[in-house]
């Protein structure tokens, strides 16, 4: 349970939404100093997953829905598909937050990688079933790999910006006396 004040929670929600707007704006800028062949991770989804595990009150369901849907609108993604999958993945993590809090980071990383892989496969399957343009498998596999590899950097960044470390006491007591 978060013991943060309502003012702190509101300010962190605004910070998250503001940072998401900044990421969207940076992706919309027509001038780029990086080569076009570089694949970028899905920064907003990774930040949302890291925050849902560490401080779920900072990223409520409605804020994630607004940010993901705005990404779909502005970045010309299939409307609602990435939003739906992002919300499903983040709510699966939120539902199993107690387990994620007790995980060692490598297990957490592997679990998030599995969720991202499942979401990517579901996205491509839904695009295929609706006869939409499907990205080549190599391209979405590289995007997925980059996102998985960047998850530790995103966890460090999010934990530092939002003061949301995973140092809370564990929920279950495997060893020790039960009182």
pLDDT digits (tens, 9 = 90+) for 111-139: 999 999 999 999 999 999 998 888 888 88
As a whole number, the mean pLDDT across the chain is: 87
**Binning pLDDT at 50, 70 and 90, where does residue 147 land?**
very high
Which contacts qualify for 6-10: CB closer than 8 Å, 24 or more apart?
Answer: 9/57, 9/58
| Tokens found for residue 143 | 């995007």
3-class state of residue 132 by DSSP: coil
Global pTM reads 0.86
Residue 89 CA to residue 4 CA, distance in Å, equals 25
State mean pLDDT over 135-148.
Answer: 89
pLDDT of residue 28: 86
Token pair 């579901």 in the structure block, residue: 122
| Tokens found for residue 27 | 């992706």
Residue 148 CA to residue 151 CA, distance in Å, equals 5
**Binning pLDDT at 50, 70 and 90, where does residue 177 land?**
low
């Amino acid at each position: 349970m978060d013991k943060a004040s309502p003012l702190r929670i509101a300010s962190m929600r605004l910070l998250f939404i503001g940072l998401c707007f900044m990421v969207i704006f940076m992706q919309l800028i027509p001038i780029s100093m990086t080569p076009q062949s570089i694949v970028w991770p899905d920064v907003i989804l990774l930040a949302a997953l890291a925050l849902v595990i560490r401080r779920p009150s900072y990223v409520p369901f409605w804020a994630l829905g607004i940010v993901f849907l705005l990404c779909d609108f502005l970045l010309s993604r299939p409307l609602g598909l990435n939003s739906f999958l992002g919300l499903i993945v983040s709510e699966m993590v939120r539902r199993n937050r107690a387990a994620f809090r007790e995980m060692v980071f490598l297990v957490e990383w592997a679990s998030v990688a599995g969720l991202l892989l499942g979401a990517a496969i579901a996205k491509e399957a839904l695009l295929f079933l609706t006869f939409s343009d499907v990205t080549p498998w190599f391209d979405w596999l590289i995007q997925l790999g980059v996102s998985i590899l960047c998850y530790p950097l995103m966890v460090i960044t999010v934990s530092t910006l939002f003061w949301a470390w995973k140092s809370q006491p564990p929920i279950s007591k495997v060893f020790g006396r039960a009182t």
